[in-house]
Structure 1
Amino acid sequence: MVAGRGPTVRRRRLASELRRLRDLNAMTLEEAAQRVGWSVAKVSRIETARVGITSPDLTRLLDLYELDTSKRSALHALARTARMKGWWDAYANSLPSDYATYIQLEADVAFIRSFDNVLVHGLLQTEDYAREVIRSALMALSSPAEVERRVEVRMTRQKLLLREESPIRFWTVIDEAALIRQIGSTGTMRGQYVKLLELADRDNVTIQVLPLAAGVHPATAGTFAIMEFREIYDPAVVYVETMTSSLYVENDSEMYWYTLAFDHLRAVALGPDSSKVLIEKMLEEST
């Protein structure tokens, strides 16, 4: 994906949808440009998200592609918000572009299904736990102030789960190994267990623990998150993070494999109630 400081995620999603509509109508760039009386370069720049698009111009394209009236309002709303800045822009100078892009996507998500085999997911971390993780990931290459900025960003992201109006749905399967792994002090781990138990009581959060006894499973390759969005034109995407970059999987067949893997994981993991019992046991044993 393009760096978060370039075209916004919303502009890129609109551009992608316009390309899809043109393809559905079996038109080349040249044909579309000729039909609306524009240069090929203008259509190309819009479809590659190099420039935005005005509402009248968007209407002309949607007329050309004969898009049903009931489906147009969402695309016009996307065009209007494509230039809007989010809270993360205040941290633009300190966030890696891949991370900034992910945060923009996450801000529009409706449902996340996540498998976490190394660490507790960032949306569920306590401040102390997050600080230890971020400090370790940066490997002393950044200042303490930079670490604190990253912690602040992570805590701000969690408002997606906690807001009163339309909080995101979040379903995580956490490998037991991630909960056993000592991150920071005993107090840090105790605080993390407490937070997991508190979040597990929320209607929009489901937490399951994959026990070590479950053995081998389809997701031995590592952590992934399936992200589903609120708008009908926004297809789901799988987010896979590596040490140096991020991968977004959008191919239907590959999406199916990740969905199938998550369904297998939640089937062999402990149920939500049994998972809470296990985390409570870990909390007791950490005293």
Structure 2
Amino acid sequence: MSARQWSLRVAGEYLQRDASTMSRYENGEYPLRRADLVALMTLYDVADPKQRADLEQICEDAWQRDWWDNHKDDFGKDFIDVPWLESRASHLRAYQHFLVYGLFQTRDYASAVINELKFGHESAEQVA
């Protein structure tokens, strides 16, 4: 059987971990320990040194505590993923399906959007 076809149960047996722990690892609910990562890279025949180093760096970063760790109870467990990912991002992409992104708006387009929203607080001079 190829390593890519191995089940969560087989990988868990290899690490001597139960299925619930493996599921938490797989779902990102709990960070993987370095020794388990090294064992899994061996199991799955990850031989490329750069790929191994990159995975080890991700594993190390997952254990790092940052400012948002003190606020996870305020926002829920899903909040943690966003700042963690953003802090490691190398590019920023924005998608707005209702409006053209601000930097790409023409004066006429922006005026039309403001006038359509009709907040009632804007004078013609402010819109222009």
TM-score strictly above 0.5: yes
Alignment of 1:203-282 (within 5 A): 208-211=103-106, 213=108
Report the Cα distance in structure 2 between the residues aligned to 1:37 and 1:93, rounded to whole angstroms: 29
Amino acid paired to 1:89: D
Does structure 1 conserve the Cα–Cα contact (< 8 Å) formed by 2:3 and 2:43? Answer: no
Aligned-residue CA RMSD (Å): 3.4
AA in 2 matched with 1:209: F
Instruction: Give the TM-score normalised by structure 2.
Output: 0.61
Structure 1 position 173 matched with structure 2 position 101: yes
For structure 1, the 5+ residue unaligned runs are 1-22, 120-171, 175-207, 215-284
- Counterpart in 2 of 1:105? 85
Match runs of 1:115-126 below 5 Å? 115=95
Provide the residue aligned with 1:38 in structure 2: 16
CA contact (8 A) 2:25 2:31 kept: yes
Change (3 A) 1:84 1:25: same
Where in structure 2 are there 5+ consecutive unaligned residues?
110-124
Q: How many residues align?
A: 107
Structure 1 residue 108, shift from structure 2 partner: 1.5
2:112 alignment counterpart = none
Residues 210 and 117 from structure 1, CA distance in 2 versus in 1: closer, same or farther, beyond 3 angstroms? farther
Corresponding residue of 1:26: 5
Relative to 1, partners in 2 of residues 1:39 and 1:118: Cα closer, same or farther, differing over 3 Å?
A: closer
Give CA deviations for 1:127-159 in whole Å, capped at 9, x if unaligned. xxxxxxxxxxxxxxxxxxxxxxxxxxxxxxxxx
Bigger helix fraction: 2
Q: Which is bigger in relative contact order (C-alpha 8 A, separation at least 6)?
A: 1
Task: Name the % identity.
Answer: 22
SS of 2:104's equivalent in the other structure is strand
- Report Cα offsets for 1:207-230 as digits up to 9, x if no partner: x2323756xxxxxxxxxxxxxxxx
Looking at secondary structure, tell me which structure has more strand per residue: 1
Change (3 A) 1:209 1:71: same
1:66 matched to 2:45? The reply is yes
Paired letter, 1:47: E
Inter-partner Cα distance in structure 2 for 1:50 and 1:115 = 27
Between the aligned partners of 2:45 and 2:69, the Cα distance in structure 1 is 36
